[in-house]
Amino acid sequence: MTKTALILIDIQNDYFSNGAFELHEMEQAAQNAKMLLENFRQAGSPIFHIRHESLAENASFFLPDTDGAQIHASVAPQAGETVILKHRPNSFFETTLLENLKAQNIDSLIVCGAMSQMCVEATTRAAVDFGFTVTVIEDACAARALTFKEETVPAPQVHASFMAALGMSYARILSTEDFLSA
């Protein structure tokens, strides 16, 4: 029997408007993540909040001991929900995430959060490498525009590119509505 956990990655204050590193449509992504979170809470299913703190000397956001590094109120952890602190994009790297998932016999992950092109992508690929079945809830993720060879790639295209790549062989890509209605 499949046991599924929800992984909420880096839904933190710095990614919202007035934050130090605002993402495109982060508020909408967080509202969708909140619906997923409420669904998992009602079902009594495992929930893991991932929180990033940057330790790099030149870091400009997610700085330790700042409000910007705190999990956003819309998806704030409740008692009994695991919060895992990370310092790299991959939520498994030098954290207890893998041990926590194995201890609860979890084999399937529902992933959402930020950024689509960084921590969501790195965590999804690592999860599959560790043998998990992964579903990414695309409209509960947010991205930011990138620049490559002096060309700016708008955030919606960045997001779509990474969801398309993950959907090729790493994860099932669904909307919040499709996941909740299944």
pLDDT of the residue at 2: 85
Mean pLDDT, residues 65-80 taken together = 97
pLDDT of the residue at 43: 97
Output Rg (C-alpha) for the chain, integer angstroms. Answer: 15
Q: How far apart are CA 66 and CA 48, in angstroms?
A: 21
pTM beyond 0.85, yes or no: yes
What H or E segment, with its residue span, contains residue 163? Answer: helix 155-169
Mean pLDDT, residues 161-170 taken together = 98
What percentage of the chain exceeds 90 in pLDDT?
A: 98
Residue 166 pLDDT > 80, yes or no? yes
What H or E segment, with its residue span, contains residue 110? Answer: strand 108-114
pLDDT in tens, 1-56: 789 999 999 999 999 999 999 999 999 999 999 999 999 999 999 999 999 999 99
Instruction: Report CA-CA distances (Å) from 139 to 18, 25, 106.
Output: 21, 9, 24
pLDDT of the residue at 3: 97
Q: What's the mean pLDDT when you consider all of the chain?
A: 97
DSSP 14: G
pLDDT in tens, 128-148: 999 999 999 999 999 999 999
pLDDT of the residue at 149: 96
What percentage of the chain exceeds 70 in pLDDT?
A: 100
pLDDT of the residue at 144: 97
